[in-house]
Chains A and B, each alone.
Chain A
Amino acid sequence: MPTWQLRLLRGRPGGSPRLEIYRVELPAEAYLIDAVEKIWAEQDRSLLFRHACHHASCGACGVRVNGRERLMCITPLREFSPDRPIQVEPLRHFPWLGDLLVDVSPMMRRMAEVGFAIVRQDELTADRPLPEGIERITRFEDCIECGLCLSACPVMAADEAYLGPATLAAIERMLKEPRGGDTARLLTLADDPHGAWRCHSAMECTAVCPSNVDPASAIGRLRRRLIAERFRRWIGGGR
């Protein structure tokens, strides 16, 4: 069984963080979360990290792996070579709580303002009528609220008040399928210097998103919608 080297960012707020090497034996079929959990179980009980579902559904295990935002639970060890350390650091642009742990509540509060979670259509049905024997379809939204996109976004680095890719994508989803939501309020939320207009199209959100959300395109569609609304107001007066 190969021995993997992990270089984990360790430390607590108030102190200066450092990178420390750990060695852990695991088969190549294992995932990064297994390695981190094993280090916690067998080597250092003070290691802080988040995880729950281990299948890219809960959004808890986001970190930066060799600089890039990933979910530990679907990052296979076989991607790496045992000779070179795999560097694991916490997500950026969130309050840091220590080691690999960050406080995701700023993002969650913004998502709560949008208020979506369940879709009423899915890819198996798309826009066709539901097959006989099925009354309705419900499915979780694609966004697992992992925060990878926020960490990858260079605008997030400079503007704390920026709504962020996930939230803007959520607004766009809500506008498309309002589920009783207040669309005028959502448009106002997005139509803000810290909203849809703050994006600089660095495209990193879409590149790191593990769940097919494509926030960059969503922000583009949102802007088109906002521009259209504005035109309508100029021409027709009022929404």
Chain B
Amino acid sequence: MKEAPRWKRASGWVDLRGRREGGLAFLLMRLTGIGLVIYLFIHLYVLRLLAQGPEAWDAFIAMAKSPLFLALDGLLILGILYHALNGVRVTLLGLGIGVPHQARLFWGVMALTLLVTAIAAYAIFTIAG
């Protein structure tokens, strides 16, 4: 008998139906990981402006101070924090440490991520704004 079409299986990891904390944590980890790689390239692209002299850079910095851009910075911090903190969780779990507490660890990671992001966002908007 035939199996389900391949594209369905390759994307199966996105399917959150029936999944709990662990599955959600994995999905977010992968999405933030991919997001960070994309960000890295954007970041390198932006740094190229430095080679084009102070005007180009200053124009970019002016734009970077717009509220929309600052909000994106907040998002970036959110992603980095989640990825890094959950990275520690996953490293431990992957070695069989703390498996019975994995769900609580996940919520801990989430809480810490949100808390630090909130502080950072406050700092960004008060300093930049």
Query: A-side interface residues toward B, CB under 8 Å?
Result: 13-14, 64, 66-69, 92-93, 95-98, 103, 152, 154-158, 160, 199-204, 206-207, 214, 216-221, 223-224
Please count the residue pairs between chain A and chain B whose beta carbons lie under 8 angstroms apart in the complex. 100
Contact indicator per residue, chain B 17-39, by CB within 8 Å of chain A (1) or not (0): 11111110111010000000000
CB distance from B60 to the nearest CB of A (A): 37
Chain B nearest CB from A112 CB (Å) reads 21
Cβ contact within 8 Å between B18 and A68:
yes
New A-B pairs, 8, CB < 8 Å, besides A96-B4, A214-B99, A216-B99: A64-B18, A154-B12, A199-B94, A201-B26, A201-B102, A204-B22, A217-B100, A220-B95
- Partner of B19 from the list A155, A158, A204, A223 (CB cut-off 8 Å) is A204
Q: Which of B11, B20, B97 contacts A204 (CB 8 A)?
A: B20
A172 to chain B, nearest CB (A): 9
Q: Is the CB of B1 within 8 A of A97?
A: yes
Instruction: Assess the A152–B96 pair: CB atoms within 8 A.
Output: no
Q: Which of under 10, 10 to 19, 20 to 34, or 35 or more describes the interface residues of B? A: 20 to 34
Could you tell me the distance between the alpha carbons of A97 and B29 in the complex, rounded to whole angstroms? 33
Residues from chain B with a CB closer than 8 A to the CB of A13 are 1-2
Residue ID in chain A nearest B13 by CB atoms: A154
Whether the Cβ atoms of A219 and B1 lie closer than 8 Å is: no
List which B49-102 residues lie within 8 A (CB) of chain A.
90, 93-97, 99-100, 102
- Say yes or no: A69 contacts B96, CB within 8 Å: no
Contacts A160-B9, A201-B26, A220-B97 hold; do A14 and B102 have CB atoms under 8 A apart?
no
A-B contact pairs, 20 of them (CB 8 A): A66-B18, A96-B1, A96-B4, A97-B1, A152-B19, A152-B23, A154-B12, A154-B15, A157-B13, A200-B90, A202-B25, A203-B22, A203-B23, A203-B99, A204-B20, A204-B23, A216-B93, A216-B99, A217-B96, A223-B94
